[in-house]
Amino acid sequence: MAYDAPYWRDQLSLIEQKALLRKRFDVHSRSGVELVTNGEKLTNFASNDYLGLASHPEIVEALCTSARTYGVGSGASDVVSGHFQAHSDLEQKLARFTKRDKALLFSTGYMANLAVASAFANSRALLLQDKLNHASLIDGAKLSGARAQRYLHNNPASLGNYLAKLYDADKYDHCLVLSDGVFSMDGNVADISQLSEVCSSYTSLLAIDDAHGLGVLGEGGCGSVLSQGVSQEQCPLLIGTFGKAFGTFGAFVAGPEDLISYLEQVARPHIYTTALPPSLVDATSKSLSLIEAGDDLRTLLNQRITQFKEELSDSGFTLLDSQTAIQGVVLGDNQLALDAGAFLRARGFLVGVIRPPTVPQGSARLRITMSAAHNASDLSNLTQALKEFRRERMEA
């Protein structure tokens, strides 16, 4: 036998036994928050399309018009011949939007995070990051080869303690500190202004991954960093993604001229990959204009968030301390979380069922995301169904 098939089958059944098997399904059509899969119609509470821009007609039009002009694929890496005027234009707009000198596009947020960690940390660096950071930052730390340590979740004092304990000027040239702006599974917002305080006492470079904050938080959707009044000097590196509130696809890193120019030279996930299609970049530019003018959409989104929290406030469910569009209902047990997801699905609601290793052991949960495209009755129907599940399965 060329390979040990029973071994891999055993590995797979171990995953299944722990109720950790992930199952995909095919979406056959989508209209706003409605999905159709195998004839089943579902209201989608499992997407990060917070402003409903993924199917916005102006963005769709921008994509089609650009594709007719430039074709589909960019054809090469940004550093060879894949970089179009559209890319330069969007990078400039993003620099203005984030109040930073310069921005560099990446194909995905995952790659942007691998790039930041491996470009700004090496064996002469200490890398500290929040315990609940996104997997791409955790993987980036491994790739960097730096001495890495995770500090207590959203705890600047814990960061300070590790810096005091581990930072040794003979061993390290500098420290890179990484945090999500909005934590992707808990929905709480990092205390960025305190993190930057702590970083300022050491030679530490602070990078914030604002995948879930940009477009959603603050005036004009400026995100978690600017809405806390934190400047480029205090938080030099800002990572953003387009797959969430922007409703498109791709990512960027913005910051001071010298840091971003350096990143452009050394970031392997930028150099050794095909550039984003120009049509997608033009669609993202359109999305950025809608985001900047989108305070009405953010008001709608905030109404839905408030409604969700109010309707479940005395339901007995454990909600997380989140004021954002990411709301977690922690159930603990993996199978109970799966059952709750299936119960809601049978009633026409799609929610995220999140299990370890995405969240810590024993904290399996439903991850429910709000969108400006949900209406009040979409939401009250969902909270009713959740309460029904609780009565039938948790209180019986």
CA distances from 167 to 175, 198, 200, 208, 255 (A): 8, 13, 13, 21, 24
User: At 293, which helix (H) or strand (E)?
Assistant: none
Q: Per the structure block, which two tokens stand in for 22?
A: 């992930």
DSSP letter string, 48-103: --TTSGGG-HHHHHHHHHHHHHH-S---SBIIIII--HHHHHHHHHHHHHHT-SEE
Please identify which residue in the block is written with the tokens 């707009």. 93
For residue 184, indicate whether it is catalytic: yes
Q: Which residue is catalytic, options 212, 270, 286, 374?
A: 212
Helices 376-389 and 334-346 cross at an angle (nearest 10°) of: 130
CB neighbours of residue 262 within 10 Å = 14
Of 42 and 137, which CB lies nearer to ligand PLP in the complex structure? 137
Give the binding site for ligand PLP (CB under 6 A): 108-110, 113, 134, 136, 180, 184, 209, 211-212, 241, 243, 251
In angstroms, what is the minimal distance from the CB of 137 to ligand PLP? 7
In angstroms, what is the minimal distance from the CB of 12 to ligand PLP? 25
User: What is the identity of the amino acid at 207?
Assistant: A
Of 111 and 159, which CB lies nearer to ligand PLP in the complex structure? 111
In angstroms, what is the minimal distance from the CB of 159 to ligand PLP? 18
CA 297, distance to chain mean position in Å, is 19
In angstroms, what is the minimal distance from the CB of 234 to ligand PLP? 20
CB neighbours of residue 261 within 10 Å = 13
Of 48 and 232, which CB lies nearer to ligand PLP in the complex structure? 48
Residue nearest to ligand PLP (CB): 109
DSSP 3-state assignment of 175? strand
Q: Per the structure block, which two tokens stand in for 315?
A: 């339901």
Of 263 and 385, which CB lies nearer to ligand PLP in the complex structure? 263
Q: Per the omega criterion (within 30 degrees of 0), is the bond before 156 cis?
A: no
Give 277's DSSP letter: P
In angstroms, what is the minimal distance from the CB of 333 to ligand PLP? 25
In angstroms, what is the minimal distance from the CB of 113 to ligand PLP? 6
Of 366 and 386, which CB lies nearer to ligand PLP in the complex structure? 366
Q: Which residue is catalytic, options 74, 107, 184, 285?
A: 184
In angstroms, what is the minimal distance from the CB of 180 to ligand PLP? 5
Of 112 and 163, which CB lies nearer to ligand PLP in the complex structure? 112
Of 202 and 242, which CB lies nearer to ligand PLP in the complex structure? 242
For residue 244, indicate whether it is catalytic: yes
For residue 74, indicate whether it is catalytic: no
Long-range contacts made by residues 375-379, C-beta under 8 angstroms, separation at least 24? 376/303, 376/304, 376/307, 378/33, 378/43, 379/304, 379/307, 379/308, 379/311
CA proximity to 87, closest of 303, 301, 357, 282: 282
Catalytic annotation, residues: 184, 212, 244
